Amino acid sequence: MGRCTVLKKGRFGLRLVTFLLTLSLLFALFGCNSDTGLSVRDHNSTTAGVIGQPKYEKSDSFRSRLGTSFDIVVNWKASNVRQISDEKYIVGLEVDVILECANIILSEQENGNTLTIAGNRYSFKTERIESEAYDTVRYRLFKKNVDFDILAGESVSIPLSVEWNCNAEVNGININQSVKISDKADISAKDFELPFTESESGKKRVAITFDDGPHSKYTKLIVDKACGEYGGKVTFFVVGERISWDRGASMIYAVQHGCEIGIHAYTHTKDYAVCTDKHYREEIYGTLDAIHAYLPSYDVKLMRPTGGSISSDRASESEFSVILWSVDSEDWRNKGDKGTEVIVENVLSNVSDGDIILMHDLYENSYEAFCIIIERLHGMGYEFVTVSELLGASMQAGVVYHYGR
């Protein structure tokens, strides 16, 4: 054990007697904490595996007055919460133990003190720190950062215990005492504020798009699967002449469920890179009129050229955002027996965060493959958004997009 030298600086006098009595009383009052079973470990700033950082900060302090000359102040702060799974959080706990002395200078070489946090013991060397008060000298006895685990909805009480050993000689009187003070830091995961939307919390997103509908059967089934089962949305690029009375109803159903509608073609027989201006306008605005016949106030923002083909002038002058794709399911060429497997593989082997996936709401295999794809992507942590949601506020008319990332 090291030595603690106490020097008289001013009005010390009889305070020493009071101090010694109080020290003895405190020593009798506070016992040692046993191990609590709480999972506490040395602070580590890594964020690997973190899926969210809820806003949270709680701090408190407790103080033990030793006579009229010494105060031990234990300040603790819980913050830096990291969510690492649906159920588990890591919380950073900082404990800062300060000794305040009136008019007394202590040696800064004192050893043998321990701070115990939830049964884990740490030593520290006393160091003098700045004090704002004229007649107060401050020493830091301990400063320690630890991490501890907390489960969602759980509350924990973290026992904090400070043991300060003083072996000193003042005016011929030996101070050879040990003092312990204890309290608890109470933390509740119920107080964590989760300000994140799912996408802000790092969820991967894709826009699954369907061309060449609406279809009287598959359009509605796709909406039910994406919206009803997975809480997601998809986007349909429609063909004007296929919007007959029952198919128009499918399109309305999709919009009512939050899905997005864009223009594809009217006859689906023209190539926008080479066709006449007259034909180009008929394909685009004939389809816009067909959409508005069923959805009069719907704001169409997207268009997708047939075959992904459009001249750069027409793309840049378009009043719509031109949406191509980054993952092609090639569902239209896989209508046979093994087709579903191939379509699923085409998507899952290529997909990543921010992709726009091309499919068609026309074929049985496409629908079967879509059901498997959305289930697997959901399991991989993806969420399913419209093209406008994927591209966000930066989406502009007259710009060609292949993906949103």
In one-letter notation, the amino acid at residue 77 is K
Q: Which of 217, 239, 218, 216 is nearest to 371 (CA)?
A: 218
The answer to whether 212 contacts Zn ion (rule: CB under 5 A) is: yes
CB of 265 to Zn ion, least distance (A): 7
Query: CA-CA distance, 142 to 78, in Å (whole number)?
Result: 16
CB of 188 to Zn ion, least distance (A): 55
Which residue lies nearer to Zn ion by CB, 99 or 324?
A: 324
Instruction: List Cβ neighbours of 361 (8 Å cut-off, separation of 6 or more).
Output: 210, 211, 212, 213, 214, 215, 218, 219, 222, 236, 367
Query: CA-CA distance, 347 to 328, in Å (whole number)?
Result: 7
Which residue lies nearer to Zn ion by CB, 219 or 306?
A: 306
Number of residues located near Zn ion, criterion CB under 5 A: 3
Binding mask 76-105 for Zn ion (x = CB under 5 A): ------------------------------
The count of other CB atoms within 10 Å of the CB of residue 157 is 14
Stretch that binds Zn ion, among 212-220, 290-298, 365-373, 382-390 (CB under 5 A): 212-220
Stretch that binds Zn ion, among 59-67, 213-221, 305-313, 388-396 (CB under 5 A): 305-313
What backbone phi and psi angles, to 5 degrees, belong to 157?
Answer: -110, 115
55 in Cβ contact with 43 (< 8 Å) = no
Structure tokens at 167: 């072996």
CB of 307 to Zn ion, least distance (A): 7
Virtual torsion, Cα 275, 277, 279, 285, nearest 10 deg: 130
CB of 246 to Zn ion, least distance (A): 20
Interface residue with Zn ion, options 163, 183, 211, 361 (CB under 5 A): 211
Q: How far is CA 139 from the centre of its chain?
A: 38
**Total residues belonging to the chain:** 405
Structure tokens at 198: 């799912």
Q: Which residues pair with 157 in a beta bridge?
A: 186
Stretch that binds Zn ion, among 13-21, 75-83, 211-219, 366-374 (CB under 5 A): 211-219
Which residue lies nearer to Zn ion by CB, 70 or 266?
A: 266
CB of 277 to Zn ion, least distance (A): 21
Q: Which residues pair with 72 in a beta bridge?
A: 64, 99
Which residue lies nearer to Zn ion by CB, 272 or 382?
A: 272
What secondary structure, in 3-state letters, does 290-337 show? HHHHHCCCCCCCEECCHHHCECHHHHHHCCCEEECCCEECCHHHCCCC
Stretch that binds Zn ion, among 12-20, 289-297, 306-314, 389-397 (CB under 5 A): 306-314
Which residue lies nearer to Zn ion by CB, 189 or 207?
A: 207
CB of 263 to Zn ion, least distance (A): 11
Which residue lies nearer to Zn ion by CB, 211 or 383?
A: 211
CB of 268 to Zn ion, least distance (A): 6
Which residue minimizes CB distance to Zn ion? 211
The answer to whether 283 contacts Zn ion (rule: CB under 5 A) is: no
Q: Which residue has the tokens 């069923």?
A: 294
Stretch that binds Zn ion, among 13-21, 205-213, 221-229, 372-380 (CB under 5 A): 205-213
Query: CA-CA distance, 205 to 225, in Å (whole number)?
Result: 17
CB of 303 to Zn ion, least distance (A): 12
Which residue lies nearer to Zn ion by CB, 126 or 306?
A: 306
The answer to whether 361 contacts Zn ion (rule: CB under 5 A) is: no
CB of 190 to Zn ion, least distance (A): 51
CB of 395 to Zn ion, least distance (A): 21
The count of other CB atoms within 10 Å of the CB of residue 403 is 19
Query: CA-CA distance, 384 to 259, in Å (whole number)?
Result: 10
210 in Cβ contact with 360 (< 8 Å) = yes
What backbone phi and psi angles, to 5 degrees, belong to 175?
Answer: -105, 110
Contacts with Zn ion by CB under 5 A lie at: 211-212, 306
